[in-house]
Structure 1
Amino acid sequence: MNFLKKTALTAAFSLAATSGFAETTLIHGEAGPNRGARAAALQWYADQVAERSAGDLKINIQWGGALFKSKAAMQAIGDGVADMGSVIAVYYPKDMAAYGIADLPVNNPDAWVGMRATDELMRSSAAIQNNLADRDLRYIGTWTTSQVNIGCKDTAIRSVADIAGKKVRGVGAYGKVMGEMGANLVSMSIYDAYQGLDTGLIDCSQGYSYAVSALKQAEVMTSYTMLDWGQVGGVGMFMNLDAYEGLSEEQRAVIDQTGMDMADEFGRLITKANADAIVSMKEQGVEVIELPAEERAKLVASGAKFLDQWVETATSDGLDGAALLEEYKGLIAKYTAERDANGYPWAKASN
């Protein structure tokens, strides 16, 4: 943050303290609209911060890119355009390399497990925190797009061999793996996939179950294959470091703990949304296919090179990429075991 912005921020916090104001309002920039599961989780976060701080902290969410677009979020938050905001790691492959670990095609399709593993890594690693501090950022909490699957029209993916020759809209490294397996990758937004499938411009589109429902893509799909592979999880909340450090210790504790708890709330929302979407697809006549375990193993193996590439990128940014990746895999194993032993936290809360 530049000197003038730092001075203005310090003055604002000082004025609030000396004027007896009992409330601090933080501005959050969100490029997306106020609808959907992620928007609901963000609003939950804001409501919980106000409740847990007894009104001492409030978050004013600026929706729909009113302050900045997705591709400008990292710089805008670091520069103090907003106190905090939503950041998508894929737009910053080097600057947000540490957070990009959540986008890798590791062997984990579970949204809650992925968020918990990512959240603990981002909070516990001093190296990651220092890396973010160099960009005037503080990690607050994480979301995920959830597991990557693939829907097709007038064809189906029942095995890895079925990928060859298909015109596919891909997602990050997941799309690149399919490209190496013979798919013809088509650059296309998920929002254009409906028309792409309908017109035959693409045969298949990688995406997420809840998004298929939200975008009504089941209307133009005949099959939907559950890859049971991985997810895109580098989507989360970050705060301007100076704004964060300008809060009281009690306020920072509320910000951090609520961010940690958000993984449980969003896990609940996205798990239900995905399950409901699968039911809806079946009701509309879409064939839902479970990819056999031996075929899934081929996808996991083919994605290994992209893990190696991430290690190189992270290492070039001063991080120990190999060590972080092993730690992340260990955290995935930890939360997978916790889920298997105790179930999801929201299921326990409802019993």
Structure 2
Amino acid sequence: MKRFLTGTACTVLSFAFVGEAIATEWNVSVWGKRRAFTEHVEKLAELVSEKTNGEFTMNVSYGGLSKNRENLDGISIGAFEMAQFCAGYHRDKNPTITVLELPFLGVSNLEEEVAVSHAVYDHPAVQADLGRWNAKLLMTSPMPQYNIVGTGDPRDELSEFSGMRVRATGGLGQAFEAVGGVPTSVTATEAYNAMESGVVDTVAFAQHAHLSFRTIDIADWWTENLNPGTVNCPVVVNTDAYDSLSDEHRAALDESVPEAIDHYLANYAELIEKWESILDEKNVERVTVSDETISEFRSVAADPIREQWIKDMDAQGIPGQELYDLVQDTLKKTRGES
């Protein structure tokens, strides 16, 4: 009887050990607060947990694990398993994906943004680039074209951008600099204070960020059609953590990405529908920039910045022209063009 009980106890302990071994818990580092920009991360966590009966869970932390500019560093050392970051926060650490932040790239909607981002993420040079940080690109955080809010008199002519202090990162910052603007790359969480204190005159964001970080609350006007470009913000996972997943958990993660992106797109569409009423509610003037001004902006900013970017990439041994062509070819394919 003693031997039987001992054997039973061992069996129970063995099952307990196995149960503990197959449970997976990941920490995910994002910032700010839950908003349209993080809805795919939240949905991914929900889907993965559902598909694995709660055996694979994700704890999404809004600033509790790392500062947003340090998320890629945290991934590289395994401080957490998943993180979101924006390429423009540290262009030198992820030069390949900055192709997606070039001004006037031609992307016209979020579906196209998803397509070009994931095409670039799949390129071997890009995977090697992020591999230096032990990071595997999982999915993008698609954002619409940025527009600016500002205080004081509206700025709707190119000459009025001269000397304008604007919160803009990456290629957007370069675009405004090309027409005489003074870009600053304060983080999203710092943008409201920078605008309120007069450190910047204007802030370039997508709609959700103007809401989440409250820049719309102190804005007098909004450019509804400037559309100079956007930023690219991937969600990455620590490569070692990804490789250590069981086949079942890895499949649950990979298969959930398209569903999470679809949820993000549907959620963002609802936000865009509400945007006009939000502008009315807050008495924000809509500023329509003329086609002539936009054309002039594009001629000054787009071609020179793109050509310089390709030269800079070539100097680093990165196939810049190939990556840019990949974006354009993907846009044509997505639109059904020959």
Instruction: Find the counterpart in structure 2 of residue 29 from structure 1.
Output: 28
Instruction: Find the counterpart in structure 2 of residue 11 from structure 1.
Output: none
Return the index of the structure with the highest Cα Rg.
2
Instruction: Find the counterpart in structure 2 of residue 251 from structure 1.
Output: 249
Which residue type is aligned with residue 73 of structure 2?
Q
Instruction: Find the counterpart in structure 2 of residue 319 from structure 1.
Output: 318
Which residue type is aligned with residue 332 of structure 1?
L
Summarize deviations over 1:245-300 as a string: whole Å, max 9, x none: 22233432322232244332222223332442332113332221233333323333
Return the match for 2:285 from 284, 287, 293.
287
Distance 1:16 1:78, change over 3 A: farther
1:220-231, aligned counterparts within 5 Å? 220-226=218-224, 227-231=226-230
Kept in 2: contact 1:26–1:84 (CA 8 A): no
Which residue type is aligned with residue 303 of structure 2?
A
- Unaligned residue ranges in structure 2 (runs of 5+): 1-13
Kept in 1: contact 2:48–2:256 (CA 8 A): yes
| Number of aligned residues | 321
Kept in 2: contact 1:225–1:290 (CA 8 A): yes
Q: For 2:254 and 2:219, how far apart are their aligned partners in 1?
A: 41
1:1-351, aligned counterparts within 5 Å? 19-21=18-20, 23-61=22-60, 63-105=61-103, 106-123=105-122, 125-185=123-183, 188-194=186-192, 197=195, 202-226=200-224, 227-233=226-232, 235-301=233-299, 302-335=301-334, 337=335
Kept in 2: contact 1:115–1:144 (CA 8 A): yes
3-state SS of 1:80 partner: coil
TM norm structure 1: 0.79
Which residue type is aligned with residue 329 of structure 2?
G
Kept in 2: contact 1:209–1:278 (CA 8 A): no
Kept in 2: contact 1:28–1:59 (CA 8 A): yes
3-state SS of 1:304 partner: helix
3-state SS of 2:227 partner: coil
Instruction: Find the counterpart in structure 2 of residue 5 from structure 1.
Output: none
Distance 1:83 1:300, change over 3 A: same
Which residue type is aligned with residue 113 of structure 2?
G
Distance 1:319 1:258, change over 3 A: farther
Q: For 2:263 and 2:19, how far apart are their aligned partners in 1?
A: 34
Q: Give the superposition deviation at 1:75.
A: 2.6
Kept in 1: contact 2:222–2:287 (CA 8 A): yes
Greater alpha carbon shift after TM alignment, 146-155 vs 198-207:
198-207
Greater alpha carbon shift after TM alignment, 20-29 vs 267-276:
20-29
Q: For 2:36 and 2:221, how far apart are their aligned partners in 1?
A: 24
Q: For 2:62 and 2:16, how far apart are their aligned partners in 1?
A: 32
Q: Give the superposition deviation at 1:165.
A: 4.2
Q: For 1:290 and 1:259, how far apart are their aligned partners in 2?
A: 36
3-state SS of 2:216 partner: helix
Q: Give the superposition deviation at 1:327.
A: 0.3
Instruction: Find the counterpart in structure 2 of residue 12 from structure 1.
Output: none
Summarize deviations over 1:95-153 as a string: whole Å, max 9, x none: 31222222221122523321232023213x23322333343221111104432101222
Q: Give the superposition deviation at 1:185.
A: 4.2
3-state SS of 1:95 partner: coil
3-state SS of 2:144 partner: coil
Q: For 2:187 and 2:71, how far apart are their aligned partners in 1?
A: 19
Q: For 2:90 and 2:199, how far apart are their aligned partners in 1?
A: 29
3-state SS of 1:60 partner: strand
Kept in 1: contact 2:179–2:297 (CA 8 A): no
Which residue type is aligned with residue 67 of structure 1?
L
Q: Give the superposition deviation at 1:94.
A: 2.7
Distance 1:221 1:121, change over 3 A: same
Q: Give the superposition deviation at 1:317.
A: 4.3
Q: For 2:281 and 2:289, how far apart are their aligned partners in 1?
A: 20
Distance 1:126 1:149, change over 3 A: same
Kept in 1: contact 2:166–2:203 (CA 8 A): yes
3-state SS of 2:85 partner: strand
Distance 1:67 1:220, change over 3 A: closer
Distance 1:90 1:174, change over 3 A: closer
Query: What root-mean-square deviation, in Å, do the aligned CA atoms of Structure 1 and Structure 2 show?
Result: 3.0
TM norm structure 2: 0.82
3-state SS of 2:174 partner: helix
Q: For 1:18 and 1:169, how far apart are their aligned partners in 2?
A: 52
Q: For 1:22 and 1:270, how far apart are their aligned partners in 2?
A: 38
Distance 1:167 1:58, change over 3 A: closer
Kept in 2: contact 1:108–1:231 (CA 8 A): no
